[in-house]
């Protein structure tokens, strides 16, 4: 009887030890699950916030844009060698569908070109004044540009040879003295320019312009 009692006691102790061990493992699993769920919830919240921000930015960029209808040669000039070039261009554009809250002061243009190996790239940049396509009059700064409506604006290309503006002016070369060169001298037949229209707080539209002819009214797209 005593031997059986001892055996039962030993079995009870072993069972108790196993039970305690299982409980420890169970509690550890609960703690791990709690930590994991916290991390998962936090990560999910961050992903949701990022997705909402990305969606908002994308909607803003898509809706706050202009569509370029055409770019035509408006006036001509001469580069430093006397070659005829395009001095100004008329940009015909349309406000993209769904765009709201765009006013004339929100529009800006950037025209880039490569002048030379020594002078590098040139950038002509200024506000793009929106004009009525029919009356040719300027749209008031306080007038919202309507989605789907066509407008136009004029881009002026800057002089490249800044310290001798034309052939015969005494300095007909591009050199280090020509500070802040513009793209006018590069708007000649056979050349290309890059034009970007940017909406403040919205998106931007990039277009490559190809000068196949300097005849006034010629499309550069």
Three state DSSP letters for 122-150: EEEEEECCCEECCCCCECCCCCCCCCCCE
Q: In this structure, is residue 85 part of a structural domain?
A: yes
Q: In this structure, is residue 220 part of a structural domain?
A: no
Q: In this structure, is residue 216 part of a structural domain?
A: no
Q: Comparing 75-89, 102-116, 207-221, which segment has the lowest mean pLDDT?
A: 75-89
What's this model's pTM, rounded to 2 decimal places? Answer: 0.64
Whether residue 81 is found in the same domain as residue 128: yes
Last residue of a domain, one of 63, 81, 96: 63
Inter-residue contact 177 to 163 (CB < 8 Å):
yes
Whether residue 56 is found in the same domain as residue 129: no
Q: In this structure, is residue 123 part of a structural domain?
A: yes
For residue 36, the model assigns a pLDDT of 80
Whether residue 159 is found in the same domain as residue 196: yes
The tens digit of pLDDT for each residue in 28-65 reads: 788 888 888 888 887 877 777 766 555 545 544 455 68
CATH of the domain at 151: 2.60.40
Last residue of a domain, one of 37, 63, 89: 63
Q: In this structure, is residue 221 part of a structural domain?
A: no
For residue 26, the model assigns a pLDDT of 75
Whether residue 97 is found in the same domain as residue 204: yes
Q: Which residue has the higher pLDDT, 156 or 118?
A: 156
Inter-residue contact 70 to 89 (CB < 8 Å):
no
For residue 184, the model assigns a pLDDT of 81
Is the pLDDT at 93 greater than 60, yes or no? yes
Is the pLDDT at 12 greater than 80, yes or no? no
Mean pLDDT of the chain: 78
The tens digit of pLDDT for each residue in 145-179 reads: 988 889 999 999 887 655 554 444 444 555 555 55
Whether residue 75 is found in the same domain as residue 23: no
Total tally of structural domains belonging to the chain = 2
Residues 99-103: what's their mean pLDDT?
84
Whether residue 109 is found in the same domain as residue 47: no
The whole-angstrom separation of Cα 192 and Cα 219 is 13
Both tokens assigned to 151? 């407008």
Which structural domain, as residue segments, surrounds residue 179?
A: 65-210
Whether residue 5 is found in the same domain as residue 48: yes
Whether residue 69 is found in the same domain as residue 165: yes
């Amino acid at each position: 009887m005593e031997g059986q009692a001892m055996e039962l006691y030993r079995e009870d102790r072993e069972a108790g030890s196993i039970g305690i061990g299982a409980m420890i493992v169970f509690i550890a699993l609960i703690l791990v699950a709690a930590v994991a769920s916290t991390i998962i919830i936090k990560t999910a919240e961050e992903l949701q916030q990022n997705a909402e921000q990305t969606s908002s930015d994308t909607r803003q960029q898509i809706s706050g844009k202009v569509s370029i209808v055409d770019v035509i040669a408006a006036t001509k000039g001469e580069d430093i060698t006397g070659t005829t070039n395009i001095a100004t261009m008329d940009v015909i554009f349309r406000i993209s569908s769904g765009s709201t809250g765009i006013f004339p002061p929100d529009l800006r243009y950037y025209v880039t070109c490569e002048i030379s190996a020594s002078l590098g790239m040139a950038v002509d940049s200024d506000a793009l004044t929106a004009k009525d396509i029919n009356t040719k009059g300027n749209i008031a700064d306080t007038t919202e540009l309507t989605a789907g409506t066509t407008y136009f604006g004029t881009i002026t290309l800057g002089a490249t040879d800044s310290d001798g503006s034309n052939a015969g002016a005494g300095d007909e070369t591009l050199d280090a003295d020509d500070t802040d060169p513009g793209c006018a001298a590069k708007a000649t037949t056979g050349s290309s320019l890059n034009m970007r229209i940017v909406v403040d707080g919205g998106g931007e539209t990039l277009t490559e312009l190809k000068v196949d002819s300097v005849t006034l009214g010629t499309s550069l797209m």
